[in-house]
Amino acid sequence: MWMPTTHTSEAAAALPAQRRSPGDDPPGHIMVVDDNREAGAALAALLELDRHTVDHMLDGRTALSAIECRQPDLIILDVQLPDMDGYAVCAALKRSPITWQIPIIMVTVEGQRASRLQGLEAGADDYLQKPVDMQELEVRIRSLLRNKRRNDQLEQAEAVIFALARTVEAKDAYTEGHLQRLALYSVAIGERLGLSSDAMLALRYGALLHDVGKVGVDELIIRKGGPLTPAEYRVMQQHTLIGERIVQPLRMAAAVSPIVRHHHERWDGRGYPDGLAREAIPLGARIVAVADAFDAMTTTRPYNRVFSVAEAAERLRAGAGLYWDPTVVAVFLDWLRTARALA
């Protein structure tokens, strides 16, 4: 039972029809899950005064079914439910790749520390004790909705950026499947180097987006079947800088943008755009450079013949310490031998 401390259900009915000022954050779609019909209805009435759209569900299974049809922006979830407890509902939502980002406020009886810890372990984003202070609840709702809107905007931006990367790949018939192979090779190297999970995710993103800046390069240059002129090469080099700007809206921009900017640097310092050398080149960029070179050598390109895996491996060894990080090359070739043996 909710037991709001600020208003009773009768007081809620007597309040003005709207309390939100025009300059406030926009309202959201909130689901209240509480088996107490009267208390849940009272809470819903109070939230509706702030122009939120509110659904009141009396049990966990009904709530989960309703969420499959229409996702709320936020869920206020009581722990005590008749069919499945709030922990199970919360855990089910947080396990799903569709609903895991919906913020959940769980409510429990005052003083039950173990209950709060269990709810947070289940994935709850916030926790309130009964009796619920409505002013505090409203502040937490606004904060969580604000964060969700920001995350939604970032997700939309990321979707656009990855769509641009696929557009670049589609421009060049010779690079079909290149991004996925590059991500595979890069992640394999990263795993063998013992990178953290966050660094691995950034590496995968960097591999998939390394050439996204080519969306700003003339298609005739990208598709050209022969060597580029010096002027064309200077234009092509700009794709690293364009790509760096494109990926800035990503939540992982700080980790991904150095890979995008520096994947054409050389170990000897004669690459572009900044002429970085050796360990000054970000590790992710060094990894992607090796993976990119191997894929370019072993797939059909208009400017180069296809090399066998053995030939490409030998060229990587020859270029280690000149073009590429010797350690990264050695790790990749070791993985390649293992992968081919298991194939």
pLDDT class of 22 with cuts at 50, 70, 90: very low
The single residue listed with the structure tokens 């298991």 is: 342
pLDDT of residue 297: 93
Express each pLDDT in 167-221 by its tens digit.
Answer: 777 666 556 678 889 999 999 999 999 999 889 999 999 999 999 999 899 888 8
Express each pLDDT in 23-49 by its tens digit.
Answer: 467 888 999 999 989 888 888 998 888
Q: Average the pLDDT over each of 7-16, 23-32, 280-289, 300-309 and give the range with the smallest value.
A: 7-16
103 pLDDT above the threshold of 50 = yes
Express each pLDDT in 269-278 by its tens digit.
Answer: 999 999 999 9
5 pLDDT above the threshold of 60 = no
Q: Average the pLDDT over each of 110-119, 135-144, 180-189 and give the range with the smallest value.
A: 110-119
pLDDT of residue 260: 97
> Where are the domains positioned within the chain?
9-151, 172-342
CATH topology of domain 9-151: Rossmann fold (3.40.50)
- To the question of pTM greater than 0.75 for the whole model, the response is no
What is the second-level CATH architecture of the domain 172-342? Orthogonal Bundle (1.10)
